[in-house]
Structure 1
Amino acid sequence: MAFSMRQKVLFKHCDPAGIVFYPRYFEMMNDCVEAFFDHIGHPFEELHTKAAVPTAQIETTFTAPSHHGDMLDIRLGCTRIGTSSLGIAWHGSADGETRFTASATLVHVGQNGRPLPWPAPLRNTLELHLEGAD
């Protein structure tokens, strides 16, 4: 099951040429991750009281520029789950045109910064959202 969110490209996202400055896409992707965890009933503000979910790896391809005022559709899918890791993929588009694709590995870590297995309730929920899950 994929999760989607809409993001209007705001002035703050743009460089002087009026196109999205690429680091702002990473902020949008992180906002999408946080919204996804809220959507599945495991809000980041609760998860991050005893653990964290940093990005360990990310790969992004920018295929077309986005402009101030564009409405982006950002789709997030879970691609794999490990003991303490989660593979995710994003697809960002506007008006049916792909603007970026990305994949990343998130890692659930404890307060000491070391990998920590996903708590069973969260893991069970994430498994329900794996791409191809029924």
Structure 2
Amino acid sequence: MRFSHCDPAGIVYYPRYLDLCNSLVEDWFTEGLALDYASIIMQRRLGLPTVHLQCDFRKPSVLGETLEMTLQVEAVGSSSVTLFILTQGADNDPRFAARIVLVCTSLESHRAISLPADIREVIDHYRSLCHVG
């Protein structure tokens, strides 16, 4: 964890986990799914806002600690994707867990729309590789 992630006690300031989750989701689209996140937003004019968020803070993370974040797809709806993100320390102890629901929207109307077939296909394939418990 970086100095900018921590509060004066040297413990990760809890909203930083949400920034880390958002970065992970963007990287997952671009690197994990080979769907350029910026192009989805800027060229295709699709939004992927978080509409539901559930978090558990299980153990403090501290300055200098390396964390590992994993992302699993729990469900795919007609316009939504439910993700589970687990953050663990080097000791494999869970630090933070989040269940995030993203909804595909038109950036023109700002209304929910069906996930485009190409995006759904890649997410469904990724989901088939996940082992959600």
TM-score normalised over the length of structure 1: 0.90
* Structure 2: unaligned runs, 5 residues or longer: none
Query: Is structure 2 residue 70 aligned with structure 1 residue 61?
Result: no
CA distance in 2, matches of 1:10, 1:38: 24
Q: Is the 8 A contact 2:72 2:131 kept in 1?
A: no
Pairing 1:94–2:86 present = no
Counterpart amino acid of residue 76 in structure 1: L
Cα-to-partner distance string for 1:52-78 (whole Å, 9 max, x where unaligned): 100000000001000011111000001
Cα drift, residue 29 of structure 1 = 0.5
More strand by share: 1
Q: Which structure ranks higher in relative contact order (CA pairs < 8 Å, sequence separation ≥ 6)?
A: 1
Q: Name the one with the larger helix percent.
A: 2
Aligned-residue offset at 1:10: 0.5
Once the two structures are aligned, what percentage of the paired residues are identical? 30
* Match of residue 41 from structure 1: 34
**Deviation string, structure 1 residues 87-134 (Cα, Å, up to 9, x no partner):** 00011001211101110100010021100111111110000111359x
SS of match in other structure, 1:76: strand
Figure out how many residues of one structure are paired with residues of the other and give that number.
125
Residues in 1 aligned to 2:9 and 2:80: alpha-carbon distance in whole angstroms = 38
Distance in structure 2 (CA, Å) of the matches to 1:11 and 1:86 = 32
Q: 1:4 maps to which residue?
A: none
Q: Tell me the SS of whatever aligns to 2:34.
A: coil
Local SS of the residue matching 1:80? strand
Unaligned runs of 5+ in 1: 1-8
